[in-house]
Chain A
Amino acid sequence: METIAKSIWKRLPLSSNYAVAYAARDSDVDEIAAYPITPQTTVVEKLSEFIANGELLAEMVHVESEHSAMSASIGASAAGARAFTATSSQGLELMHELLHIASGMRLPIVMSVAARALSAPLSIWGDYSDVMNTRDTSWITIIASSAQEVYDSIVQAYRIAESVMLPVMVAYDGFMMSHTYEPVFVSEKAGLFRDYIPRKGRVVLDTKKPVTMGAVANPDWYYETKYQQVKAMSDAYGLSVEADQTFSKLYGRGYGLVEEYNVDNSELVILTYGGIFGTVKQAVDEMREQGIPVGAARVRLFRPFPLNELRSLLLKSKAVAVLDRSFSNGLPVSGPLAVELKSMMNSYNINVPVYSYIVGLGQRTVTEADISKIASQALSSKVSNESIYWGVRE
């Protein structure tokens, strides 16, 4: 791997936002439509720079809202372009109806999301409320936990999207990742990923072979058309594994769909997603030093839900504490990942205690000490059946 690293990569200090911009550049995107929203904006600023400097040959549309950003992406993708957009929070919410159009029209758009809390009250800070609200939009969803993974995932996303014809979003923590710098290997020269994400023929708007996209489907066909999306999402599972494994083989970096950390011989696994995994790993190290048998894992592919990887994780787990940075209000267990994990366990008759914790809403700080306290509470098994809103002042 060292030899590969030396020959094809350039090591740069990048925020996850900049990693996204470099990845979009190196994926040779054709069209970018975006609207400013904190904390996403530097993605688009960097891309403007690439275009202005001639490093990326693409059209950039400075649209008048996120609704238009996704609409323009849909138009460009339908006409055959490799489309890219980036957003956050309310921007993602404003796009919501278009998210269904993009997946329904089977367009391989890739979007980055710097995950941020939702109004009201107004908060520009990070959590995953925006991303979790898109769970039913038929978008393939990757949640990264480092800037390098953000870069690699955007490239992988085009491979998955253009194979299965569903859009992909790559999410990462607003601020904690979007605005902090890490060393990232980016492609030394253009065209590194040309064979990994080849230009493939697909159905596009073409006056010589006219098609209508998104046409009216009456009750006799709507259902079947939607079921095709279900099949595609199911295919996306295997293709996501393939995209990651091939990427790993060619470029030396792979992540899997669920990342495990010190899970063996543990009494408790702390399961989460996104950048908080770094803090969790640190806490696990500290607890292991004190002889507390704790492990950790994170879900990297959220849609389609990584059943096999989670089943194998649960087989090794005696108890699971799920940390969610979002909540689905009105349910006794309200953490989205906890809800989905429990639903999956029920379907496959897996019986492991699952404790749901809500943490880090609107960027409330979560430290290693918090994680350790959560772990010792969960290990004591004196935990409520309902979600615990960690550290909230009632």
Chain B
Amino acid sequence: MEETLAHPLEKYLRTEKLPHMWCPGCGIGTVVQAFLRAVDELKIEQDKVVAVSGIGCTGRIPQYIKFDGAHVLHGRAIPVALGIKLARPDLKVVVFGGDGDLASIGGNHLMHAARRNADLIVIMVNNFIYGLTGGQVAPTTPKEATTYTSPYGPDSKPLDAVKLVSAAGGTFVARWSTAYPVLLKESIKRAFSHRGFSFIEVISQCPELFGRINNFKSTYEIYQKIKKVGTIRRGISPYDAKYDWNSEISLGEFVNFEAPSYYDQLREIIEKAKGVKE
């Protein structure tokens, strides 16, 4: 009998759920792998991580990885995750969501989680469209792109989530792409050790629903585009970071500083009020 070698990350996967629902060439797998490698290298106990998601292709991640998790309503992963974190501050709570989930219907929650410096890691996979519903225009869709609900391009300019989260008060804000899986993994590791709100956007390819309609004839072509447009800029301000499909989408860690997290701030108020003793 031929011996089959287990995948080094297999213990983190719900193998009974495989094969997964993502299309061939999708970038989400790269994000999952970077995340699992980060957890593995940091030797974080599996039962200390909770994965929460809303709706969307990226929202399916918690189904496939072996951590406790919740798959909740479209856009609402962040408030659910915050509830989990407040009830169990000892857990690492990670939110996975797409741009359609976190920057659109859940945009308000993203903004306020950043404002509160909520103790969460939010990984937003940006494929520029609503993928799961079939490729409709999203708030992140570049002006130059075509989608199934914007045959002549979007009606307004895209939202740069890095600037939004930075302006709202996020204390760890980064953007990477699927072309840099190792840098992404390292960034996720730093997010794990960061106290407060960590936001990582990952520019990712959707070859089927964003690629085809925009004349990328293969996964390779759209991947090359993502590789080319993503430019690493170290030490620049998030407000100088570019989000431009034609020239440059800036990658890097734009914000990283220490500030009292939401949990710290709550403890402070409790102490001031001389309330509950731990």
List chain A positions with a Cβ less than 8 A from chain B.
Answer: 35-38, 41-42, 44-45, 48-49, 52, 60-62, 64-65, 90, 119-120, 122
Within the complex, the shortest CB–CB distance from B16 to chain A, in Å, comes to 17
Cβ of A65 and Cβ of B104 under 8 Å apart? yes
Give A9 to B141 CA distance when docked, in angstroms. Answer: 38
Q: Closest B-chain residue to A47, C-beta based?
A: B149
Q: Closest B-chain residue to A68, C-beta based?
A: B105
Give A61 to B154 CA distance when docked, in angstroms. Answer: 10
Within the complex, the shortest CB–CB distance from A266 to chain B, in Å, comes to 43
Q: How large is the interface on B (under 10, 10 to 19, 20 to 34, 35 or more residues)?
A: 20 to 34
Interface string of B128-141 (1 = CB under 8 A from A): 00101110110100
Which listed residue, A41, A44, A64, A90, touches B139 by the CB 8 Å rule? A64
Cβ of B151 and Cβ of A64 under 8 Å apart? no
Which listed residue, A52, A62, A122, touches B71 by the CB 8 Å rule? A122
Which listed residue, A62, A64, A90, A122, touches B149 by the CB 8 Å rule? A62
> What residues on A are CB-neighbors of B152 within 8 Å?
52
Which listed residue, A35, A41, A48, A52, touches B105 by the CB 8 Å rule? A35
> What residues on A are CB-neighbors of B55 within 8 Å?
122
> What residues on B are CB-neighbors of A64 within 8 Å?
104-105, 107, 139
Cβ of B154 and Cβ of A41 under 8 Å apart? no
> What residues on A are CB-neighbors of B133 within 8 Å?
36-38, 41
Give A42 to B148 CA distance when docked, in angstroms. Answer: 9
Cβ of B73 and Cβ of A38 under 8 Å apart? no
Q: Chain B contact residues: over half helix, strand or loop, or mixed? A: loop
Within the complex, the shortest CB–CB distance from B135 to chain A, in Å, comes to 9
Cβ of A38 and Cβ of B136 under 8 Å apart? no
Interface string of B71-91 (1 = CB under 8 A from A): 111110000000000000000
Give A52 to B147 CA distance when docked, in angstroms. Answer: 12
Within 8 A of A (CB), among B91-110: 100, 104-105, 107
Q: Closest A-chain residue to B100, C-beta based?
A: A36
> What residues on B are CB-neighbors of A48 within 8 Å?
148-151
Which listed residue, A45, A65, A120, A122, touches B75 by the CB 8 Å rule? A65
Cβ of B149 and Cβ of A45 under 8 Å apart? yes
> What residues on B are CB-neighbors of A38 within 8 Å?
132-134
Cβ of B136 and Cβ of A45 under 8 Å apart? yes
19 residue pairs of the A-B complex, CB under 8 angstroms, read A36-B130, A36-B133, A36-B134, A36-B136, A36-B149, A37-B74, A38-B132, A41-B134, A41-B136, A45-B149, A48-B149, A48-B150, A61-B155, A62-B137, A62-B149, A65-B74, A65-B104, A65-B105, A90-B73
Known: A44-B136, A52-B151. 16 other contacts (CB 8 A): A36-B130, A36-B136, A37-B133, A44-B149, A48-B149, A48-B151, A52-B152, A60-B155, A61-B155, A62-B137, A62-B150, A64-B107, A64-B139, A65-B75, A90-B73, A122-B71
> What residues on B are CB-neighbors of A37 within 8 Å?
74, 133
Chain A-chain B contacts (Cβ-Cβ < 8 Å), number: 52
Give A42 to B130 CA distance when docked, in angstroms. Answer: 13
> What residues on A are CB-neighbors of B136 within 8 Å?
36, 41, 44-45, 62
Q: Closest B-chain residue to A48, C-beta based?
A: B149
Cβ of A62 and Cβ of B107 under 8 Å apart? no
Give A49 to B132 CA distance when docked, in angstroms. Answer: 20
Within the complex, the shortest CB–CB distance from B77 to chain A, in Å, comes to 13
Interface string of B142-174 (1 = CB under 8 A from A): 000000111110110000000000000000000
Q: Closest A-chain residue to B148, C-beta based?
A: A45
Cβ of B151 and Cβ of A42 under 8 Å apart? no
Cβ of B134 and Cβ of A42 under 8 Å apart? yes
Q: Closest A-chain residue to B149, C-beta based?
A: A48
Give A48 to B153 CA distance when docked, in angstroms. Answer: 11
> What residues on B are CB-neighbors of A45 within 8 Å?
134, 136, 148-149
Q: Closest B-chain residue to A122, C-beta based?
A: B71
> What residues on B are CB-neighbors of A122 within 8 Å?
55, 71
Give A119 to B104 CA distance when docked, in angstroms. Answer: 20
Which listed residue, A35, A42, A49, A62, touches B154 by the CB 8 Å rule? A62
Give A119 to B73 CA distance when docked, in angstroms. Answer: 8
> What residues on A are CB-neighbors of B73 within 8 Å?
90, 119
Within the complex, the shortest CB–CB distance from B215 to chain A, in Å, comes to 17
Within 8 A of A (CB), among B44-87: 55, 71-75
Within the complex, the shortest CB–CB distance from A39 to chain B, in Å, comes to 9
Give A45 to B105 CA distance when docked, in angstroms. Answer: 19
Give A4 to B126 CA distance when docked, in angstroms. Answer: 51
